[in-house]
Structure 1
Amino acid sequence: MSEDQQQLHQTLWNIANDLRGNMDADDFRDYILGFIFYKYLSRKMALQANKALAPDGLTYDQIIGHPMEKEYMGAIKLDALDALGYFLKPTELFSELAKRGNSGGVNKFILEDLQKVLTNIEQSTMGSESEDDFGNLFEDLDLTSSKLGKTEEAKNELIVKVLTHLEGINFDLENRESDLLGDAYEYLIGQFASGAGKKAGEFYTPQQVSKILAQIVTTGKNRLKSVYDPTCGSGSLLLRVAKEVKEVGGFYGQESNPTTYNLCRMNMIMHDVHYKRFDIYNEDTLVNPSPKHSDQRFEAIVANPPFSAKWNPDAIISDERFSPYGKMAPKSKADFAFVQHMVHQLDDNGTMACVLPHGVLFRGAAEGHIRKYLIEDKNQLDAVIGLPANIFYGTSIPTCILVLKKHRASTTLSDRILFIDASNAFEKVKTQNVLLPEHIDKIIVTYRSYVNGALSEAEVDKYSYVATLEEVRENDYNLNIPRYVDTFEEEEPVDLQAVSDQLKDLEKDMDTTNTTIAEFCKELGIDTPF
């Protein structure tokens, strides 16, 4: 991370802490991230408009009152809707409202106008190709909420402070090689997640885990046609995959929480993913999968589903995603339902990697049946990776990564499964366990050695093992990692003769000490204590 990035991250976090006062961190997150997004949209709009007006020697703010204002505005709107997916007038830009809020007098009250602007951004997309991508994006920015202040003046004052602080930050959007703002946005999402307890699991996967999943599914590839996350949260996993390859054709995801769904769409746009290149759907993936995604197959799938979530399979028992298995994941634990859904959506040449609780490796009944089907009938399980406990926000349970491929039978590894025990490779930072770069690298190097057929390099003493399918059968398809990776550390043999000699020496020392004590007692005229 560059010094500029670090400085920007710290500045934004300081602003968030200074301005939220007594407001709950989750609530303030929606405001600060929403306003950063509004600033981003405004700056992109100004840059796009200035580019269109450059041949006429004009800038966007100069067309207000121009004799051809109406014509210019119409042409710029069409251009913006195609290039950006939305439209903002010069008077609706972030900088203009921030300036008004600091102007003093009647004009400093901007709450109503700000609400209108946020609504206009969404309405500007109505009837256009980007309508679904921008619809209700700002619904969590309630400018009438008492959380902002007891009076309208107090609310306005807080909002003006936030806008003023953000207006003073240069996000360097003109630099196409820079992603300062996108990274800063991602940083803030992570910071809010770390302090959000159980809620964090709903919208954020720690970057250390994201890197592992992303590097696994991009192994051997420079470009991806598509990447999909059925429980995409804020979209951090999808975006992480893009950092591992030169190009991703399309980003696809589904998220059931409306607030988190909005965060994901904002995150995509803030990382300069064009609205035509992502499709995020707001519904329960298991019960109501996106109709747009159902017939698609994805080259890479990554996911961090909610651990052991409750679900209701009764209404979809005949669904083609689950029916071939003959069993449904239990109502109290949807873990394998997510796996079944992802395998169904995986392309023939694709790889999927998902984080799950350790219980999926050994629990019996329906889960044991599904596990056997994936291994024996379909031969789709490629690797099992055990992670340390306490690396996810809001839960301390140990987790694992399952790696699956659609058609392993045609590969040289068709009768092998890699097991990695990385559960003890971490560094403790305060109350959280953290995977350092060297821990991540070791996992990836081991996995890629296995994929490349270098099995001798893939097997690391006390760390990894390449098991045969026959060994897995003998273990009744129980994937508990200690059954395959021997991490037992033998104690050094005890030299009994040396111990005996030490005891003899101690006996002599005690006799000498006792003699000395007896002489002192005799001189003092008292009885010896032994």
Structure 2
Amino acid sequence: MTEQKAQLEQQLWNIANTLRGKMDADDFRDYILGFIFYKYLSKKMELYANEILQPDGLSFQQIEGHAQEADFMAAIKDAALDKLGYFLEPSELFSELARRGNGGGKHQFILGDLAKVLNHIEQSTMGSESEEDFGNLFEDLDLTSSKLGKSENDKNELIVKVLTHLDEIDFDLENTESDVLGDAYEYLIGQFASGAGKKAGEFYTPQQVSSVLAQLVTVGKDKLKSVYDPTCGSGSLLLRVARVVKSVGAFYGQEMNPTTYNLCRMNMIMHDVHYKRFDIKNEDTLERPQHIDQRFEAIVANPPFSAKWSASPLFMSDDRFSAYGKLAPSSKADFAFVQHMVHQLDNNGTMAVVLPHGVLFRGAAEGHIRKYLIKDRNYLDAVIGLPANIFYGTSIPTCILVLKKNRTSAPLSDQNILFIDASQHFEKVKTQNLLREEDIAKIIDTYKRYSNGDFKEAEVDKYSHVASLKEIKENDYNLNIPRYVDTFEEEEPVDLAAVSKELKKVAEELEATDTIIADYCKQLDIETPF
């Protein structure tokens, strides 16, 4: 399976590079991911229709022109809209468009037909339960863009080339036990993020960080009723949570960027998450929250670091912020996201959020909010320091805050906060620092021991410390990790006698060398250089 996955990833990346020379990374990402998604929808449609038609001894391709075509098509459409959330006719399938485009080995003009098909996928959901989940999914796939080529023929030539290459790849969707395609899709998103610089943070959290967050919020659980990400990007964090438990009832997310919002919905569907099980919204989470009346069992997030927000005085009457008495500053929304997530967290839930280190010690309003969360609400469960240069587009060190509303599950756990300094545990790969499997395991194992009340085992020299709330208070609620985890390494004592002996030896060697040089100079009848 690993070999099949690697092969598929490489094939898709090679096809993506067909577009690379024509446009910038953001654009060719949208095109290649859009075309892969179209092929996925087509194959799922064909497989499902064939399953329905099996008792009639027909395939989906055979019903066009059949005497009962209208009846078959209507029945399949109704079933597909409920089961898949969309409908495609046999003539609209990816394989059919690719075949027509490459008819007889000569590229035929299919741009107009392709645009109609993509539009029809969205229109097929109108009035159905899946309308919101499929609406405008292909709006970033502009087939009229000059980025595809100067002339219509140039554009068509490139698109046909990409479709033909994709058509030759087996997505293996018949294998219901495998999610090779979903993994490959995730791989492509990661590849695009690695080359996107500062923009990468808008849509992707590195997999190793996603893994840490997912495991933190699922400690002690193998099933979740719901998981929520208020800044969900491409949905990678939500999907990562699903990998570490047996089942997730529903996925919820909100994303401000329309292009990334489309990518998230595609990613959900590509991982075979039924449209009835996810609810992703396209809006500004802080200004216009879309799931405000709901509470979630697990919350994960990697909000934009120190983003700006309005911090309008009107928010002082908002239930998310009113109890704190102060708002996060307009120049740094980090704690505003924390407050929002705390509000959405269920009483039995856990949230884990990645933030810049500044949230641990900055004063003023942020210091006030931090103190309220610890002293008045006692929600903070753990602080984990991550290595610098671990995120795409920024080299700053970051931390993870873990918060719970109910911290009485383990003996005296509600009287302590776990600090982990994982900042020196990583592997440097080219210009990026990466958490290795053993680094992730060490973080999670330490947190599990702490969560189980085994504080002695959770204390690791120069790595972790279980701090009492009294310690936190004595530090004036400053959470800067070096205050609690001493990572200072004493230098080995210097043997001065050995150093003196070595210096004496070097001096003797220099004196001998000087004598040799002086002799050579004398023989050459030149002045000695010293």
Shift in alpha-carbon separation, 1:484–1:56, aligned structure 2, 3 A: same
Distance 1:480 1:189 in 2: 34
TM superposition shift of 1:456: 2.0
**Residue 440 of structure 2: aligned partner:** 440
CA displacement, residues 39-66 of structure 1 (integer Å, 9 cap, x when unaligned): 0000000011111100111110111111
Q: Distance in 1 between matches of 2:160 and 2:498?
A: 78
Q: Given the alignment, which residue of 311, 314, 334 partners 1:313?
A: 311
* In 2: Cα distance, 1:522 partner to 1:125 partner: 99
What CA distance in whole angstroms lies between the structure 2 residues aligned with 1:20 and 1:511?
64
1:462 and 1:153, CA in 2 relative to 1: closer, same or farther beyond 3 A? same
Q: CA deviation at 1:135?
A: 0.6
Structure 1: 5+ residue runs without aligned partners? none
SS across alignment from 1:214: helix
Question: Counterpart amino acid of 1:297?
Answer: R
The verdict on how the C-alpha distance between 1:513 and 1:51 changes in structure 2, with shifts beyond 3 A counting, is closer
Distance 1:521 1:445, change over 3 A: same
Alignment match, 2:279: 279
Whether 1:358 aligns to 2:357 is: yes
Measured against aligned partners, the alpha-carbon deviations of 1:378-398 in whole angstroms (never above 9, x if no partner) come to: 111111111111111111111
CA–CA separation in structure 1 for the residues paired with 2:507 and 2:274: 82
Question: 2:331 is matched by which residue type in structure 1?
Answer: S
- Report the Cα offset of residue 270 of structure 1: 0.3
- Give the match's secondary structure for 1:129: coil
Q: Please show how residues 14-163 of structure 1 align to structure 2 within 5 Å.
A: 14-103=14-103, 108-163=108-163
Look up the equivalent residue of 2:27 and give its one-letter code.
Answer: D
Instruction: Tell me, yes or no, if the aligned pair for 1:87 and 1:121 is still in contact at 8 Å.
Output: yes
- How many Å separate the matches in 1 of 2:222 and 2:16? 38
Correspondences of 1:347-496 after superposition (within 5 Å): 347-409=346-408, 411-412=410-411, 413-496=413-496
| Structure 2: gaps of 5 or more residues | none
Contact 1:379 1:409 in 2 (8 A): no
**CA apart distance, 1:103:** 1.1
Distance verdict in 2 for CA 1:198–1:518, change over 3 Å = closer
Q: Report the CA distance shift for 1:168/1:516 in structure 2 as closer, same or farther (over 3 A).
A: closer
- Who is 2:206 aligned against? 206
After TM superposition, give the deviation of residue 106 of structure 1 in Å.
Answer: 10
SS in structure 2 at match of 1:86: coil
Matching of residues 159-238 of structure 1 within 5 Å: 159-238=159-238
Figure out how many residues of one structure are paired with residues of the other and give that number: 528
In structure 1, C-alpha distance between the alignment counterparts of 2:189 and 2:46, rounded to whole Å: 26
Counterpart in the other structure of 1:330: 329
Question: Which residue identity is paired with 2:50?
Answer: N
Structure 1 pair 502–224 and aligned structure 2 pair: CA distance change class (3 A): same
Greater Cα shift, 35-44 or 460-469: 460-469
TM-score (norm 2): 0.95
Q: In 1, are the aligned partners of 2:197 and 2:392 still within 8 Å (CA)?
A: yes
**Whole-angstrom distance in 1 between the partners of 2:510 and 2:294:** 82
Q: 1:517 to 1:269 in 2, by over 3 A?
A: closer
| Counterpart residue identity of residue 20, structure 1 | R
CA contact (8 A) 1:287 1:313 kept: no
TM-superposed CA distance for 1:471, in Å, is: 0.8
Q: Deviations over 1:401-446 (max 9, x none)?
A: 0000012256421111111111111111111111111111111111
Contact 1:388 1:425 in 2 (8 A): yes
Query: Cα deviation per residue 1:256-289 (whole Å; 9 max; x = unaligned)?
Result: 0000000000000000000000000000000000
User: Which secondary structure state, in structure 2, belongs to the residue aligned with residue 52 of structure 1?
Assistant: helix
Q: How many angstroms apart in 1 are the aligned matches of 2:522 and 2:105?
A: 101
**CA separation of 1:524 and 1:259: change in aligned 2, threshold 3 A:** closer
Q: Is the 8 A contact 2:217 2:298 kept in 1?
A: yes
TM-score by length of 1: 0.95
The 1:68/1:362 distance shift into structure 2, 3 A limit, reads same
Choose 96-105 or 476-485, whichever is displaced more. Answer: 96-105
Give 4+ residue runs of structure 1 displaced > 3 Å after superposition.
104-107, 495-530
Inter-partner Cα distance in structure 1 for 2:136 and 2:526: 95
Secondary structure in structure 1 of the residue aligned to 2:103: coil
Q: Distance in 2 between matches of 1:36 and 1:424?
A: 39
